[in-house]
Amino acid sequence: MLLGCVADDLTGATDLALTLTREGLRTVQINGVPKGDLDIGEVDAVVVALKSRTNPAQEAVAQSLEAARCLRAFGARRLMFKYCSTFDSTDHGNIGPVAQALLDFAGGDFTVFCPAFPRAGRSLFSGYLFVNGVPINESPMKDHPLTPMRDGNLCRVLQRQTSLPVGLVAYGDVDAGPDAVAGAFARETAAGRRALILDAISDAHLRTLGTAIADLPLITGGSGIAMGLPAAYLKSGLINALTPAPTTIAAPAGRSIVLAGSCSAATRGQVARAIAAGMPALRLDPNAIAEGTTTPDTVLAWLDAVSGDSPALVYSSADPEAVKAVQGRLGVQEAGHMVEALLASVAAALPAKGYGRIIVAGGETAGAVVGALGASALRIGPEIDPGVPWTASLSGPPLALALKSGNFGGEDFFLKAWDRLR
């Protein structure tokens, strides 16, 4: 095992595991730090999925260090910390403190930060993060329920979270190739900088960066920063061969369901499209959950009444005004946890009701749902859309799971994803 990764949420972990698999590393995703022995077979990379993105920083640091120790015990010689391609965090939050703690753990003079994921529309130029060509602080991410992003300059954002001096390796150096990037690393570290933001606006940049960072004990970023690693590892002899990615996955027979707790613009569009196409859908109102009129039993009774084999959709996704109103009434964390707990209870009952194919939208939501399903490890299957594969549960009931990051996927995602299983 070469590369050990700590991901701060579940859909993000799947996104990274997909990238590594597509690029030729045999990769397994483990959901949570494994408590006992876990047979993961022969692999090149392991991604441990945490649910730490919005936890208090000290908790996130402790969990991430526990995951890093476990990855070391599996034999990892390189570490990566995976966060969101939209750098989701607050000024008190977690990317800076976790990266700093992992750097102390892994050793090394400096580490790098690169959330860029051009295939999903995330690019970084002069340290500014863009989403589909729009500065992140003008994108729908400014209204995220838990981690609103109101500053597009990642050097500033990161410096508010860490005492490590922050530097930048800008477009000109990245575009000039691995040697220029190595030169920029030398320049920045000579000036005392230990947390280097890396520009990237294309896959070619990510491959250049892969070559330049392959020897660092710790790297941090979105899934994109891992794109160039497998080829670089092969070139430097750290692995012997690349393994072709699977094109299919065995999916258990059974009913299909979408559980959507993400309120992102992309997920709301996917919900609207599925409903317009006639998918049976149940909207969850957090107020009704708080009042006790919507419970796991009322949702399961609704599912029992849905006839036919058509996938069903259960969603709490709501627009930013509705989310703010609910959060004002119930509290930000409380509202989130309440919806997550309800979806988790529903999920726990699904296998016994014959559901074998489940899409979950939203990282926090997926963390809660997958925990309830007991799916502690996942094998990565074919890609549905950039960043989202089908996966097969390696523990608990046999399940095909697609864990969709809130912002990922085309508008027809909930309609077309099933076709990849046939």
Ligand X SMILES: Nc1ncnc2c1ncn2[C@@H]1O[C@H](COP(=O)(O)OP(=O)(O)OP(=O)(O)O)[C@@H](O)[C@H]1O
Please report, as ranges, the residues that interact with ligand LCNOYBR7 according to CB under 6 A. 9, 11-12, 15, 84-86, 222-223, 363, 387, 405, 407
Cβ contact 369:360 at 8 Å: yes
Nearer to ligand LCNOYBR7 among residue 116 and residue 312 (C-beta): 116
Cβ contact 259:358 at 8 Å: yes
| Cross-strand partners of 80 | 5, 219
By a kind-dependent CB cut-off of 5 to 8 A, residue 169 interacts, out of ligand LCNOYBR7, ligand X, none, with: none
The structure tokens listed for 322 are: 């509705």
By a kind-dependent CB cut-off of 5 to 8 A, residue 222 interacts, out of ligand LCNOYBR7, ligand X, none, with: ligand LCNOYBR7
Q: Binders of ligand X among 246-265, rule CB under 6 A? A: 261-264
By a kind-dependent CB cut-off of 5 to 8 A, residue 340 interacts, out of ligand LCNOYBR7, ligand X, none, with: ligand X
Cβ contact 114:221 at 8 Å: yes
Q: What is the DSSP letter of 246?
A: P
Measure CA 132 to chain center. 18
Of 27, 52, 316, 391, the one binding ligand X (CB under 6 A) is 316
29 binds ligand X (CB under 6 A): no
Cβ of residue 183: shortest distance to ligand LCNOYBR7, in angstroms? 28
List alpha helices for 246-384, DSSP H.
Answer: 265-276, 286-291, 296-305, 320-330, 332-349, 363-373
By a kind-dependent CB cut-off of 5 to 8 A, residue 323 interacts, out of ligand X, ligand LCNOYBR7, none, with: ligand X
Q: Write down how long the chain is.
A: 422
Cβ of residue 282: shortest distance to ligand X, in angstroms? 13
Residue 242, CA distances (Å) to 212, 231, 348, 380 in order? 19, 8, 37, 16
| Cross-strand partners of 114 | 221
By a kind-dependent CB cut-off of 5 to 8 A, residue 85 interacts, out of ligand X, ligand LCNOYBR7, none, with: ligand LCNOYBR7
What residues line the site for ligand X (CB under 6 A)? 9, 11, 84, 145-146, 261-264, 267, 286, 316, 318, 323, 326-327, 335-336, 339-340, 362-365, 405-407
